[in-house]
Amino acid sequence: LYKPEPTPARILPLLIQVADVLAALHANHIVHRDLKPDNVMVRRGRRGDEAILIDFGISLLDGEKDTLKYYGTAGYMAPEQARGDKVDGRADIYSLGKMIAEIWVGKGRNETIPKPLAGVVGQMLEDKPEKRPTLDAVKAALAACRKTLTA
């Protein structure tokens, strides 16, 4: 079974797809709340690799009673989620920021996050949800970074 190396150039388009899925979820008032690499599957589609977001077991629909407020995966949970506070889509943005940062600095890698993306990732990992960027800003930074890697 052939498994290509998970390089930034290969993963960035998938992260853009994940951001698109999150935007659709958030537009429908759904927060995933357990975004992590294990919950993003990649399949070979007609137009290349496609990111599929899975495991909606602790997702939250706005207005629902939050009986699972302390659930999630340590290391990817937004600070407000770890505290058991009310969460919204900005918690997913935090988790996506953790995933993006890991591409360059996780699991034995110690590379510098490219400039077009580094500032946005820093904002995504802000403790205060109101300081985090929108998904549109995240997608723009991912796309800019992708251009520099493929140029």
Enumerate the active-site residues: 34
Encoded tokens for 68: 């699972």
- Contact residues for 46 (Cβ-Cβ < 8 A; gap 6+): none
Q: Where are the alpha helices (DSSP H) in the chain?
A: 8-27, 79-82, 89-105, 115-124, 135-150
Q: In a 3-state reduction of DSSP, which class is residue 60?
A: strand
Measured in whole angstroms, the distance separating CA 70 from the mean position of its chain's CA atoms is 19
Three-state DSSP at 50 gives: strand
Tokens of 139: 């997608």
What DSSP designation does 132 have? S
DSSP category for residue 46: T
